[in-house]
Structures are given as structure tokens and as C-alpha cells.
Amino acid sequence: MVMSKELAKTGEKVKTNSFNMIQAINDGLKTVLEKDKRTLLLGEDIGKNGGVFRATDGLQTKFGEQRVMDTPLSEAGFVGTAVGMALNGLKPIVEIQFLGFIYPAFEQIATHVTRTRTRTLGHYHMPMVIRAPYGAGVRSPEIHSDSVEAFFAHMPGIKVVCPSTAYDAKGLLLAAVEDPDPVLFLEPMRLYRGKRYEVPVEEYHIELGKGTMVAQGGDVSIFAWGAMMPIALEAAENMKQQAISCDVIDLRSLYPLDKEIIANSVQKTGRVVIIHEGHETGGIGSEIISIINETSFLYLKAPIEKVTGFDVPVPLFALENDYLPTTDRIEQAILKVYEF
């Protein structure tokens, strides 16, 4: 389990591919299928078609129909089927075609995927990964753009992660598959075919539950993840012109949140902006505020600002950019906490 970033730092050469996120995920899935015979993929259109985003392209040809299974159109059914497989020693990796179609499987996740270890006092467990493309900004049809990670962060028994780079995507995916407990692996559609990163060929894991500081500054702490990272970074960059420097932290794990990285940064800056595209009320932003209240109350110099999606259904694509946080809204929020 080598952290290749670390390796790179120590000067050692690591064989890499230049991959965008969807390629990194495909590569990650290939890696686990090769390594562990107990893993198998289930989902709609993931076989011959290679997935509607091609995340599983070529995998059925390589690993056969028993390892890469096209299921009927039946989210509750195939998540439930995966529960049975996991009970019986396999490690299913399930694809939900879009996060907005996870709702039919909600009951399976809320009462079985997440509770099996507890209700059997550890005699059975659920080594299952549920992958789901998510988020707005790619002109998808209705329901295809929901950002409802907060539901799952409130559900005891499942971890929730979300990469913002191709590198993290593979590393988090491998760690999620390795994890003996269920993990919801959220894939920001908007970043699928974005920037390429050097993605190590070999296996590497990014620890679940750990965020990463992607830009450093002393004035304001910015917390974000997934598709919000590029605009968070852009806003932080722009603020330099006004001599405001920001910590920009990619939380990567949404349950559990990385309490240390949050507290450390807030205790340094005392000023916080949180960004997420999920609805404001009951969003993960409020949970981060709660953690800050608990860990860093005396350090806060200004009310925390949230830049989030609104308490409205994600609109059809003509208005989706009005729903989504923007660099401009983030910059306003940074100014507001800075000038308080």
C-alpha cells in the first residue's frame, strides 16, 4: 500500500498513466478485478455498453459476464442482490447509473447495507462499494443532477467519499474496495473528462476519512470537495489579487469528515467558507459548522459562510448554472468573512 505522491516526493520513479477521472476509475476497477476474485461489478448497462459514462468500458470482455454483470433495471433488486452476495463472501461493486436513481434502493441501503455488521455483532459484514456519478453542470436531464451526499452522511454504517482528481479517484476507489465496510463512492460527473493526472499503474490507497490541503494560505479556510474543487481553487487564486490568502481543503471523505484537518485550518485562520452543491438546509456544510463549533469555537473571528445549492429541486439544465455555486459567489463569501 504505497502512497505514490509520497514516493514521488522521495524521488523514486513510479510508473504512471496520464488519465482523466473516468479513465482512472476504469483503471481502478480493472485493478481490483484482477487482484481479488471475490470482487464483481453489478449495474445497469455496465457490461457490453461499458456504462453510460464508459467507466466499465472493456471490463466485461476482459473479465466475463460473471464478474461484470448487466442487471435488470432494478436498483432495489440489485443492491439487495449485492447484499446477498456480500453476506456470502463476495465483494460486490455496484454502479448506480446516476445518484438520482439511488432512491429506489434507499431502503436496502438504510436497513441492510448499513446495518448488517451491527445486527450480527460483526459475524457478517458488508464489503460493498456503491459507485454513483453525481452532480449538476453537464446538461443532464431531470433527476440526473442531484447532490444528496448528506442523506448518506446521516446514515450510520456507510462511509461516503468523493474524489476531485483522477489520482484521488483511483486511490480512494482502491481503498473503498479494500474497506471491509460499505462505502458510497461519489463520482463528480463534471470532472469525469476534465484534467488529466499522472495515475500510478500500481496499487495505491488513499485513506478514507482524510482530507487534503490543496492550497495553503493564512487568512481564510475554504472547505469543499468533488466538482466544487476547481472553482474553490479558482476563487482562492483570484483573491490573491486582494491580498487574501486561503487554505483550500478538499475534504474527500464526507463521512467521516476529517475533523483534524478542519480544526487545524480553522484554528489558524478563524475564518471559514464552505462550498457544496447539495441543498443548503441539512447539507454537509451544517455538519462542518457543527464540528467547528465543537473544536474551534474560540478561534472563530467571523460567522462561517456557506456557498451551496439552494433548497430547491436541482433545475433542468437551462437554470442549472444558477443553482450551482460559482466562483463569484465564493469570492463574495470570502470577502465577507475576511472583512467581518
Partner 1 sequence: MKEKYPLFQVMGKDGKWQDQTYEKELNEAKVKSLYYHMLRIRTYDQKGVALQRQGRIGTYVPFAGQEAAQVGSALALGEEDWMFPTYRDHGASLAFGADLDMMLLHWNGRIEGCLPSRKKHIMPASIPIATHLPHATGAAMAETYKGSKNATIAYFGDGATSEGDFHEGLNIASVFKAPVVFFNQNNGYAISLPVEKQMNSETIAQKAEAYGIPGIRVDGMDVLAVYIAVQQALDKAKRGEGPTLIEAVTMRFGAHTTADDPSKYRNQDEINQKREVVDPLIRIEKHMKGRHIWDSAWQSSLSEEIGEELDNAISRMENYQKPVVSDMFDYVFEKPTWTIAKQRQQIISRGGRG
Catalytic residues: 144
Quote the CA–CA distance of 29 and 27 in Å, as a whole number: 5
Out of a copy of itself, ligand TPP, partner 1, none, which partner does residue 266 contact, by CB within 5 to 8 A per kind? none
Q: Which of residues 297-326 bind partner 1 (CB under 8 A)?
A: 310-313, 315-323, 325-326
Site for ligand TPP contains 104 (CB under 6 A):
yes
- As a residue count, the chain comes to 340
Looking at beta carbons only, is 44 or 168 nearer to ligand TPP? 44
> In the complex, what is the shortest distance from the CB of residue 60 to a copy of itself, in angstroms, rounded to a whole number?
28
Site for partner 1 contains 85 (CB under 8 A):
yes
**What is the distance, to the nearest Å, from the Cα of residue 86 to the centroid of all Cα atoms in its chain?**
22
Q: Please spell the DSSP secondary structure of 72-126, one letter per residue.
A: PS-HHHHHHHHHHHHHTT-EEEEE-SSGGG-GGGHHHIIIIITTHHHHTTTSS--
> In the complex, what is the shortest distance from the CB of residue 248 to a copy of itself, in angstroms, rounded to a whole number?
21
Q: Answer yes or no: are the C-beta atoms of 51 and 29 closer than 8 Å.
A: no
Query: CB burial class (10 A; 0-12, 13-18, 19+) of residue 195?
Result: exposed
**160 strand-pairing partners:** 184, 255
Site for partner 1 contains 74 (CB under 8 A):
yes
> In the complex, what is the shortest distance from the CB of residue 161 to a copy of itself, in angstroms, rounded to a whole number?
15
Which listed residue (3, 36, 101, 289) binds ligand TPP by CB under 6 A? 101
Cα angle, residue 3 at apex, residues 149 and 5 outer, rounded to 5°: 90
Number of residues that bind partner 1 (CB under 8 A): 85
**41 strand-pairing partners:** 68, 93
Out of partner 1, ligand TPP, a copy of itself, none, which partner does residue 199 contact, by CB within 5 to 8 A per kind? none
Out of ligand TPP, partner 1, a copy of itself, none, which partner does residue 216 contact, by CB within 5 to 8 A per kind? none
> In the complex, what is the shortest distance from the CB of residue 37 to partner 1, in angstroms, rounded to a whole number?
9
Other C-beta atoms lying within 10 Å of the C-beta of residue 222: 32
Which cell numbers in the block locate residue 60? Answer: 466485461
Contact range with partner 1 by CB under 8 A, out of 73-81, 163-171, 192-200, 263-271: 73-81
Nearest Cα residue to 42 out of 69, 61, 67, 63 = 69
Q: Which of residues 68-87 bind ligand TPP (CB under 6 A)?
A: 73, 75
Q: Which of residues 107-136 bind partner 1 (CB under 8 A)?
A: 107-108, 111-112, 117-125
Looking at beta carbons only, is 18 or 62 nearer to partner 1? 62
